[in-house]
């Protein structure tokens, strides 16, 4: 860290996959600037049980930021922001160092931020924000605690290979009216076609492991085939699923940031076939940059 370097502060929110994107982008900026990395949580993890801060389960760098250090990252309600546009006496705090993500496309200007403190607010869902320190990110996203016996047994089967993970994201994509319209889910045919492609390329002895927040649906639809292993016991420790997913030789992901990391973390050490959905988000464009060009798109 450079003496006197201004810190890089990142707003951290959402599920584990989103947190990892936010961390990785800020980590890269801190690395190239020789700066301290601060993570601002605010009040984002006080209520919803499926939104838990999870970066502390990894070997991450940096520390939690205080409200004072976060400055303009402190949340302002949407109502207040709307009022500020029409009522001049309603103030919204501004921060000259704050950079908000304007849209979902990759913003190359983020890479050239140098020699000044920056506060980041956004999703930053593109590997190009941090691919030049990919080895560092993959190393830091390893578990602080060793896997338990049940997960170690699955890991041994995965490493016996050839193996692939399928990730099926449902949850609020199905149950929440807003999210179901916005995101949508990958249909069974997507996974059936992906399985056929992988078996043709990797061999008929390919062992498939399925990770999902809806294992009952996975069993009903026979995702991965009759012999697939369904990993359904890490719901409260999703980082353990990631530790298994990254060790699979190949990957079939859903339109999920958690899926994405399961595939990307294993990209660094060997040739890997990754199959991703062609349509990432139903209701919005701009997600074209999230899926690396080397991955195969279906659907």
98-100 vs 63-64, strand pairing mode:
unpaired
Domain ranges of the chain: 8-140, 149-298
What is the per-residue pLDDT for 282?
Answer: 75
* Average pLDDT of every residue of the chain: 86
Q: How far is CA 16 from the centre of its chain?
A: 6
Question: Which of the pair, 25 or 172, is modelled with greater confidence?
Answer: 25
Distance CA(22)–CA(16), nearest Å, equals 10
What is the per-residue pLDDT for 92?
Answer: 42
DSSP letter string over 76-110?
Answer: --HHHHHHHHH-TTS-----TTEEE--SSS--GGG
pLDDT confidence of 122, banded at 50, 70, 90?
very high
pTM above threshold 0.85:
yes
Vertex 163: Cα angle to 192 and 239 (nearest 5) = 95
Instruction: Report which of 16, 68, 23, 86 is spatially closest to residue 45, judged by C-alpha positions.
Output: 16
Q: In what order do the strands lie in the sheet with 8-11?
A: 63-64, 37-40, 8-11, 118-121, 98-100
pLDDT in tens, 183-227: 778 999 999 999 999 999 998 899 999 999 999 999 999 999 989
- Please answer whether residues 215 and 129 qualify as being in contact, where contact means their C-beta atoms are separated by less than 8 angstroms: no
pLDDT in tens, 159-186: 998 999 999 998 776 666 666 666 778 9
In CATH, the architecture of 149-298 is 3-Layer(aba) Sandwich (3.40)
pLDDT in tens, 134-150: 999 999 999 999 999 99
Question: Which of the pair, 299 or 297, is modelled with greater confidence?
Answer: 297
* Mean pLDDT value across residues 78-86: 55
């Amino acid at each position: 860290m450079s003496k006197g370097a201004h810190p890089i502060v990142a707003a951290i929110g959402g599920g584990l996959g989103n947190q990892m994107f936010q961390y990785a982008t800020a980590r890269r900026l801190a690395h190239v600037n020789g700066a301290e990395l601060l993570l601002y949580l605010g009040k984002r993890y006080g209520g919803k049980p499926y939104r838990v801060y999870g970066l502390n389960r990894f070997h991450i760098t940096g520390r939690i930021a205080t409200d004072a250090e976060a400055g303009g990252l402190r949340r302002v309600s949407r109502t207040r922001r709307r009022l500020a546009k029409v009522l001049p006496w309603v103030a919204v705090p501004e921060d000259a160092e704050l950079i908000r993500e304007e849209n979902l496309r990759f913003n190359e200007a983020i890479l050239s931020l140098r020699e000044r403190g920056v506060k980041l607010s956004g999703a930053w869902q593109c590997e190009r924000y941090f691919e030049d320190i990919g080895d560092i990110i993959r190393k830091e996203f390893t578990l602080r605690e060793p896997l338990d016996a049940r997960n170690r047994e699955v890991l041994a089967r995965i490493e016996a290979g050839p193996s692939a993970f399928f990730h099926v994201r449902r949850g609020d994509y199905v149950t929440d009216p807003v999210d179901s319209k916005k995101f949508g889910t990958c249909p069974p045919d997507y996974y059936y076609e992906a399985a056929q492609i992988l078996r043709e390329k990797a061999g008929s002895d390919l062992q498939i492991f399925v990770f999902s927040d809806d294992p009952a649906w996975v069993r009903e639809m026979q995702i991965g085939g009759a012999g697939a292993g369904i990993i359904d016991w890490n719901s409260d420790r999703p980082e353990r699923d990631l530790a298994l997913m990254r060790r699979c030789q190949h990957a079939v992901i859903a339109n999920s940031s958690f899926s994405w990391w399961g595939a990307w973390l294993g990209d660094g050490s060997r040739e890997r076939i990754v199959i991703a959905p062609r349509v990432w988000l139903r209701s919005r464009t701009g997600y074209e940059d999230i899926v690396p060009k080397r991955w195969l798109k279906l659907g």
